A = this chain, B = another copy of it.
């Protein structure tokens, strides 16, 4: 594997999930693989799980991790070609990407959606420019439109906890006071489209995600109907895609509650975190035995580690 910008760059999702589960049993097995090599983690946005789990994954592979908060510690980047750079931006991504490539063997980047400029967000200008100009593999630590290390961790977690061959998996929108990106939901959908499952997306009207992502995945606007017989309820808020970046409603009707979970087949509750308690999900659900959120976070280490391992091995 050269880069990891999207879940579809994996040769085979099911095989990769199995390899990650094997790795988790013996995480230090490949600790000489990254010897004398460096990964740079460039953060254009805040991070807790990604920051710590990717460093942990690197360490498990003997890979030196160098972390940089690009926005506050470096220089403001220009992404447009041919611009006369006489305003706020000090450095062009052409130089930045090529320069960073001189100092590391892998560059991993977090750059959230603006949620104000749909065209620019969909162009993935940060990630795609780094991919274009860097001379080393590029890993997506959550970009404008995807979070492929998260959905791989989610796939690992579901594989570990599924009790039937073809589970029913529901991706449910839930309320949130702020405008949030679509990246986690998008990548979860793309990952589910590679799985043998009964997959349903449920959200209020006005919250339809990009048709290029959703494709022919089933969408159900009635949350309770969607929950019937579900084995996994994956919850996430996102802002409107059509009325780009807008928060259309903040009432609690779509919050995940104990009563709604009773409609399911004793479903496992999943969320990528951070999560707002009693807004997105009631305490009774996230604190229940069926909650997998901590295990999802744990699997972020093995999701990152299997991806870095494949990149280091170039296979």
Contacts and interface: CB of A to CB of B under 8 A. Distances in A.
Interface of A: 28, 31, 36, 38, 40, 43, 46-49, 51-53, 55-56, 59-60, 64, 66, 68-69, 72-75, 78, 82-87, 89-92, 94-96, 98-100, 102-104, 177, 250, 273-279, 283, 286, 293-294, 297-298, 300-301
B73 A279 contact: no
A52 B42 CA distance: 11
A95 B46 contact: no
Given A56-B66, A86-B276, 4 more contacts: A48-B74, A83-B278, A85-B279, A91-B276
Contacts of A279: 84-86
Contacts of A48: 68, 73-75, 91, 96, 99-100
A278 B73 contact: no
A82 B294 contact: no
17 contacts: A38-B59, A46-B74, A46-B75, A48-B68, A52-B104, A55-B66, A55-B103, A56-B66, A56-B104, A85-B276, A86-B177, A86-B276, A90-B274, A91-B273, A95-B274, A102-B298, A103-B301
A102 B277 contact: no
A44 B91 CA distance: 20
